[in-house]
Structures are given as structure tokens and as C-alpha cells.
Structure 1
Amino acid sequence: MSVEEEEYGFLRANALTLAFGGLFVVTLAGQAISGTADFNAQQITNGLQPVSLFEYVTSSSFGVDVMENWQSEYLQFFLYIFATVWLVQRGSSESKEPGQEGTESDAEQKVGRHADDDSPAWARTGGWRTALFSRSLGLLMGALFLLTWAASSVAGWAAFNGEQLGQRQDPVSWVGYLGEADFWNRSFQNWQSEMLAVGSMAIFSVYLRQRGSPESKLVGAPHRDTAETG
């Protein structure tokens, strides 16, 4: 157990992750229940048999909806993590100071011989381990994006072919589906909302505040101040 957990207790020390983990489970269950109701309403309208909750959550219809949202979120984090290495927005709490673009020196990042005694082991060791660890967050977000995008394409392909067969049309191969407008429409409609949200947060944090939030500058900080947290 870490020093923080001994001092504050496990729940308090991990409250943010636990809260959002709980909200994720609740909202995913809500999507499953409401999605089943909506799907069955369409089934009845089309003169087909309704399905159970289990049948719906294991269907391509549910899978594609979930994967589409997950992959757009991971794309957002992947792009933002790497973009903020080199791009800045003066006055934004989401940005580094202008002039501080880049990966910074080993001393600033506390890696190799500049690491502290309690730095992560791979930050101290140097070589490929430190190089990999120093980019591990962005690489993980990128990998999760690719995995969920691939899963989205497979689920979308199954759903698309289900509609094709229902309309007495020929199904398409997975590669063929990647060239369909349906696949790219599903992707872009999620991606554009993430780009809007990230850009809005970057610029709004220049002029607006949220007292006590690390995502905001100090309430009394000048608009021009960059990278300050509350």
C-alpha cells in the first residue's frame, strides 16, 4: 500500500478512477437497457420477434454502437497527448507555455541520471526502456484506438450485412465494408465531435475558470497565463 493510501485510505486515494469506473458501468447498463427497448420497438414495427437483453448486448447492433464511441474517445486522447508536445495555446490550462514546445531535456523530465530515487524504474534505467516508457501513455492510447476502431469495423460490418440481407441484397466482405460510406460516416460523425470538444476545452480554459479543478487556471490568474492549475 502506498503512503497516500495509508494516509487517506484506498477509496479516497482512488476516488476519481472509482467514480468514473462506476459511472461507466451504470451508463453502459443504461445503454444496453434503452438500446434493447429501441431495437425491439423497431423489430415489432417490422413484424419481427423482439430479442432478450442478452441477445441484444451480444449483437452487432450493440457492439458497433459501443465500439464507435470508445474508439473516438481514445483517438481524442491519442491526438491530444501527442499534439500538446509541439502545439500550444497561449493562456490555456491545457497547454504548455509558448516557447516550451518539444520533448524537453532529460533533466526537466527526470530521466536517466537525472531521475530521483523514487522515479519509476524504467525512467532511471536509460536506453530503449526509458525511450518506450517516456512515450507509453500516447502509445497505449494509440493502440487502444486502433483496437477499438478495428472492433468497430467488424461489428459495423456484421450490422451492415444484416441490413443487406434483410433488404435482399448481397453482403460485402470486411475489406469491402471498409470502402463503404456507412463505415466512414460512422467514424467521422464520432471523430468530429471529439475534435470540437478538445478544441473548445483548449480555448475556453483561456477565459473561463472552475475553482478548485486541476483542469482550470486559478480563478484570479490573468487570461494570458498558460498551464496554471487551480
Structure 2
Amino acid sequence: MSEARYGFLRANALSLAFGALFLVTLVGQAISGAADVNAQQVANGLPPVSLLDYVTSSSFGVDVMENWQSEYLQFFLYTFATVWLVQRGSSESKEPGKEGTESAREQRMGPHAQHDSPAWARTGGWRTALFSRSLGLVMGGLFLLTWVASSIAGWAAFNSEQLADRQDPVGWVGYLGEADFWNRSFQNWQSEMLAVGSMAVFSVYLRQRGSPESKPVGTAHADTGQTG
């Protein structure tokens, strides 16, 4: 169905809804985080900080970037892993025996492209090769960018604590070897790996009627790759 038939809002409701929820929860994180910091400031006999000062601080920055980079890591790994790995019965998986990048015919690439296929799927050469891996590359690139941003923000926050404790600050490379950095990273990464693995297994045996993330309600547990 075309976007013109349904209108912009209805045709893009999923991305718009999650975009709005993202903004609401980010604002909620900022407000609650500032309140928590100010409660500690008052308890220590220090003046409170403004919301603007808090959201521009390394403390807020590292919390946000740590979560973003773990999410992009999850999707980056899942995008590539599902090319080669399968989970029998899961709607999140290809059928066993169909591992791999599939043929040009199956992927509707080059001479097998259809009239409404994206232009770079039809042209062949480096453009098609790049476009055929673009989702994973973008997710990987966003993970690297947010990982760097997270490490810089964490480094600044770590050095603030070092100075407050009258200890010497460390350089950025030195911070990458600190337990603080890896503790922050693994805290987020392990939760993402658990969530993805759980979803792959739960979708074998559980259903959500009408959701494309689930198999049709009456589909056998062993059927793989089907969606409702």
C-alpha cells in the first residue's frame, strides 16, 4: 500500500512513535538524573547544578553514550550473525540449510532486480556490493562512533572523580585499560546479548497475534522464519 493512500503519519507510525518515545525517555533521563545528582549535592553540602549544566556534563554524556553504543552493537552483531547462524523454529531466523548470503536471484540483485528495486540493487559492481551490506556497515559505523563518544565521556567523568579524590588524571588511551571503562561496557553489552538470545528462543514457542516479530498463532513450533 502506498504512503499516499494512508497518509504520512499512518505510513510512518512505527518510526514516529518510537522517535517520540525516545525523546520523552531522554528528557526523563535528564530530569531524573539531574534530580539524583542534586540530592547528592545537597547531602554533601554543595550547591545544586542546573539542568543545562547536568545535560552538558560528562556524567550525563557517558550514561547516554554507553546505552547507545550497546544498542548499535546488538543490531550490528545480529545483522551479520543471522546471515550465517540459524535458530530452528524462530521467526527471527532463516530456515536451516539457507545459511549464507543467498544467490543474486534470491536477493533480487543485478539482472534479477525488479522494476521497483532500489537503483543500487540493479546497477551491479561496487554500488550493489556496498548497498547489499549497507545495513550492517551503518550499524557497525554507528557502534564505533558511539563507542568512541562513550569512551571520551567516560574518560572525562573518570578524571573528574580522580581529581576529586586528589589523584592524578589518566590519558584517554590509559583510560581504555581501566577497569572502570570495561565494567561500564560489559554491563551494557551482556544485557543486549541476553535480550537478543531470549527473543530468538522465545519466538520459537511463544506468539503475539498480528506482530511481524512473531509467527502466526497456529504455526508449528518447528516452522522457521515465518512471521505473522
> If the length of structure 1 is used for normalisation, what is the TM-score?
0.98
CA distance in 2, matches of 1:227, 1:40: 50
Partner of 1:182: 180
Q: Output the CA distance in 2 between the equivalents of 1:47 and 1:219.
A: 59
Amino acid at match of 2:77: L
Find the counterpart in structure 2 of residue 115 from structure 1: 113
**Match in the other structure for 2:159:** 161
1:68 to 66, 82, 95: 66
Deviation at 1:43, TM superposition (A): 1.5
Read off the aligned partner of 2:156 and give its amino acid letter.
A
In 1, the alpha carbon distance for the partners of 2:114 and 2:88 equals 31
Which one of 64, 75, 100 corresponds to residue 77 of structure 1? 75
Structure 1 residue 21 corresponds to structure 2 residue 19 = yes
1:47, distance to aligned residue in structure 2 (A) = 2.2
Separation in 2, partners of 1:54, 1:171: 25
Quick one: distance in 1 between partners of 2:155 and 2:45? 24
Tell me whether 106-115 or 45-54 shows the greater mean CA deviation.
Answer: 45-54
For residues 53-84 of structure 1, give each alpha carbon's deviation from its aligned partner in whole angstroms, at most 9, with x where no partner exists: 00000000000000000000000000000000
CA distance in 1, matches of 2:43, 2:162: 18
1:42 is displaced (CA, Å) by 1.2
Structure 1 residue aligned with 2:195: 197
Which consecutive segments of 4 or more residues in structure 1 shift more than 3 A? none
1:156 deviates by 0.2
The alpha-carbon deviation at position 117 of structure 1 amounts to: 1.2
Say whether 1:44 aligns with 2:42: yes
Task: Find the partner of 1:137 among 119, 135, 138.
Answer: 135
CA offsets, 1:6-61, max 9 Å, x none? 10000000000000000000000000000000011111222222110000000000
- The residue number in structure 1 matching 2:219 is 221
Cα distance between partner residues in 1 of 2:183 and 2:47: 29
The runs of 5 or more residues in structure 1 that have no matched partner are: none
The 1-side partners of 2:171 and 2:40 are apart by 26
Residue 147 of structure 2: aligned partner = 149
Gaps of 5+ in 2: none
- Partner secondary structure for residue 51 of structure 1: coil
Aligned length: 228
Aligned-residue RMSD, C-alpha: 0.7
Q: 133-142 vs 3-12, which deviates more?
A: 3-12
Whole-Å separation in 2 of the counterparts to 1:58 and 1:12:
35
> Identity percentage over the alignment?
83
SS at match of 1:193: helix
Tell me the distance in 2 between the aligned counterparts of 1:111 and 1:49: 62
- Matched to 1:177, the amino acid is Y
Match of 1:102 in 2: 100
* Letter in structure 1 aligned against 2:105: A
**Amino acid across the alignment from 1:117:** H
Alpha-carbon distance in structure 2 between the residues aligned to 1:48 and 1:172: 26
Distance 1:211 1:94 in 2: 16
